[in-house]
Chains A and B, each alone.
Chain A
Amino acid sequence: MDGIEETRRIRLVVNGKTVERAVSVRKHLGDFLREDLRLTGTHLACEHGVCGACTIIIDGVPARSCLMLAVQADGLNIRTVEGLAEPDGTLHPIQDAFHEKHGLQCGFCTPGMLTTLAAVLEENPEIDEAGIREAISGNICRCTGYETIVDAALSAAATMRQAARGGL
């Protein structure tokens, strides 16, 4: 059993704050966020990288927190669902749109949907419906049938395009 509980110190940025922790070398990043940092907004639903519920944004790119060890996140910049809103509480357009368009029911896949879409929309607010469906094809939702999630993403994309043009 030697080494199974070995720890290593990591330093990373999570939702804008630098954190430094000793972490078990076998702990995955999702567990680290939930257990060590108590950021329980990131949900674990399959833990083999298929359902997308645990998606977080690493250096601007959506990634599965269940498929990565916490020690691999050393030096990286991470955003979780808790970090999507502005520090003053102003919601990200995709959060607003989920509320407006009924893009969630039970809320369990929602953090992964929101992080995936936030990253995708920030990269490309011109995205169309087919692009959005492709973008969330690795996120399983059992409640909504996806349609209202797609509508929310289209609505948020429009909001973000408008904001980028300086309008409101």
Chain B
Amino acid sequence: MGARYFGASVRRLEDPKLITGRGAYVDDIAIPGMLHVAFVRSPHAHARIEGIDAEFARSMPGVHAVITAADLEGKADAPMILPVPAPIIKQVKTQYPLAFRSVHAVGDTVAMVVAESRALAEDAAAMVMVDYEPLPASVDLAHALDPGAPVAHEGSPDNLIATLKGGFGDVAGVFGKAPHVFKERIEIHRGGCHSMECRGIVVRPDPMGDRFEMWSSTQVPYMVRRYLAQYMGMEESAIRVAAPDVGGGFGPKAVVYAEEYALALAALHLRQPLKWIEDRREHFVATTQQRDQIWDLEVAADENGRMLGVKGVCLHDNGAYIPYGIVLAATGMASFPGPYALECVDVTMHSIFTNMVPNTPVRGAARPNTCFLLERLADLVATKLGMDPAEVRRRSFVKPEQMPYTTGMKARDGSPVAYDSGDYAGCLDMALEKYGRDFRARQAAARAQGRYLGMGVASYVEDTGLAPFEGATIKIQPDGKVHLQTGAAAQGQGHKTVFAQIAADQLGVRLEDVTVEAADTAAFPLGIGTVASRVAVLGGSSVHMAAIEVRGKAIKVGAMLLEAAEADMVLEEGFVKVAGTDRKVGLGEIALKLNGLFGTPMMKGIEPGLSATSYFEARELTFANGSNVCEVEVDVETGAVKILRYVVAHDCGRLINPMLVDGQIRGGVVHGIGNALYERMIYDESGQPLTTNYGEYLLPLATEMPRIEIVHMESPSPRNPLGVKGAGEGGTIPAAAAVIAAVEDALAPFGARIMKHPISPQDVVEMIEAGTPAVAAE
């Protein structure tokens, strides 16, 4: 069977209902008798709760209940489950569904009001009187480990969650004899995911007993089921969790949240269906965020500008709780040494509690952080040695002939990290080729006119296809249509289309004859979740395997029915055919036969049903890579940065649907541009968030964003049957590094060195004012 769909930019199966207003997101669900929830949230970053008076609120019109921790029988003092325990975590602090005696971030859930409408619930929430005793808050990451610093959790000895150490090689030896060692402090600031759909939950208890169904805008329905079952002491089979259409996820929707626990508990208690829809201000204070880190780094390089080693110590802000354990810091650590064949790495990361919104993976997880560090260090080496930044990278890259390349670092499960395939220098050169070679001349000409152009490059390697598995069932129905079920949830990526492409090729059917049902624990038994760019790799491979099995069975039965040899069978247009003849039998006809008829015995040796279920288990990660080139113009009067061009060379192995991969890359790059130039989640010294709407927190807009020019290299992964690698985060990972490098290059005449993001126009103006024009790099 030739690949008609695999590799083709087919239009999405998801679109028709979404462009006509017929999508079905959580907030579109209406169940008769459904009540609405509003949460009372902490206005303090850190406080003791001395008392809650909900008496008046309970008497208000339309209010059915006001629930506080004290009302959660047996669960008041039971913190939420820690999903990823690790022995090195010194203090396990997870949130409570409703605050128990204390709050640790503005936005913590304190009480929930259940009323006949959202408006009435909000009216009553405002009238719940909570007596707080405010406490000093841990907000200053740089000093959060200092003796005497305010602690985020009253009674804790300090703010340290865990210290992670990683590395390899002879660090003292390499740094001791390296001709060049440079030091920098690099700071990376937090932002949010800002999916356009906020979070939302609808829960319906079963009128017949202690069971419930939940629709949540989650990336991980199976994890929601797992942790709610565990917490509530219920069988998993008594809980159905489904993710309907989800309006963007970008990481934070992979957390199992206090609101999910609270709604499940309340719905069973009240025996009423409940809905809670997060509003945008809640999203700013109750949905996890990411990226705050402060690093002190050193890079060693030889006299030719080849990077030899990196060492660093990091203060990693984990926020108020550890809903994701220390996964984020560990991901950042495992992302060293990036695309570079370093002789040594020595990294220490202190994961720290603060009284701010918890940090969990946001698009790229901590990979954009590590990429930013390594790329800033590469540029530092280039600046110091007066070299072309691209050349520093070429000399330092892992080379294609070194594949598979064992980096020296360890993955989360302790196994050695080994890159599977790729040509990192080749990818960088593709990007530069696409960009053109005339920049330095244009830059000089522009400077002569008082205009400041800059160009930056950034390269990265990304681990994708995270273990353990995803699975799929494919069933041929009696009408010949293909029904595909999988646990893998989607938030806009187009997984349904991609899965249908893979299945349709194997089964010889049209794309539109495949229907895909996903992310519903009632439809498919097991799933993990949509994180770490893993769904095409694991979900896609499982679809491929199931489709091959169904195909084999269709051929076997078809050959029996047509009295021909299996080797002569082909699958085309929904039929099993004897090649080169008009003898054929429809897939639907075979399915009907295999689905059984009263009194008619099954064919000998053939199990019922034309269907198969397969799981693809990832044993090793697959590694995507790429290089970006960004060109900016900086207005030295206003500090404004305008992106003039943005080029991406991207290698995620074989492309299933280039149009969708390009869509992932573009959106990802723009997210990274936001992190570099616009998005700034500011807290004051008492832990009050100051940027809680889109007037204060800026997201990238159409008027500022460039076109993203994309070229692909395809280095197939040997680690899955499709040869694919993940594509969901590779746009974001290098983008901030490329943009900041370009701005720094534009400001080279002022001696600017930019070791943080985001940067504001004010930062740029200050750098210009501090700098001396036209001084060559030291």
Contact = CB atoms under 8 A, between A and B. Distances in A.
Mutual binders A and B: yes
Interface of A: 1, 4-5, 24, 26-27, 34, 38-48, 50-51, 53, 80-82, 84-85, 91, 95, 98-100, 102, 104-111, 114, 132-134, 136-137, 139-150
Nearest to B24: A40
A51 B702 contact: no
A1 B56 CA distance: 13
Nearest to A94: B19
A161 B663 CA distance: 27
Given A80-B21, A145-B669, A48 B280 contact: yes
Contacts of A91: 19-20
Interface of B: 11-12, 14-16, 18-23, 25, 27-28, 30, 60-61, 119, 123, 193-198, 245-248, 250, 279-280, 491-494, 659-660, 662-663, 666-671, 693-695, 699-703, 705, 707-708
B129 to A, nearest CB: 17
A45 B196 contact: yes
A150 B12 CA distance: 18
Indicate the member of A39, A95, A104 with the most B CB atoms within 10 Å: A104
B667 A143 contact: yes
Contact of B30 (A38, A47, A80, A133): A38
Contacts, number: 168
A39 B21 contact: yes
A108 B707 CA distance: 22
A107 B20 contact: no
B50 to A, nearest CB: 28
Contacts of A140: 196, 694, 699, 701
Given A43-B247, A105-B667, A108-B247, A146 B702 contact: yes
Contacts of A141: 196, 702
Contacts of B12: 99, 102
A142 B20 contact: no
A137 B705 CA distance: 10
Given A81-B21, A102-B660, A139 B493 contact: no
Given A26-B119, A50-B695, A53-B196, A98 B15 contact: yes
A27 B118 CA distance: 11
14 contacts: A34-B27, A38-B30, A40-B23, A41-B21, A42-B21, A91-B19, A102-B11, A102-B660, A106-B197, A133-B703, A142-B194, A142-B250, A142-B699, A145-B700
Indicate the member of A114, A134, A145 with the most B CB atoms within 10 Å: A145
A107 B14 contact: yes
Contacts of B494: 105
Contact of A146 (B119, B670, B671): B670
A145 B702 CA distance: 8
Given A85-B20, A102-B660, A146-B700, 14 more contacts: A1-B123, A46-B280, A50-B695, A104-B492, A106-B492, A137-B703, A140-B196, A142-B195, A142-B250, A143-B492, A145-B666, A145-B670, A146-B705, A148-B663
Contact of B248 (A40, A106, A111, A139): A106
B119 A27 contact: yes
B733 to A, nearest CB: 15
Indicate the member of A38, A50, A141, A149 with the most B CB atoms within 10 Å: A141
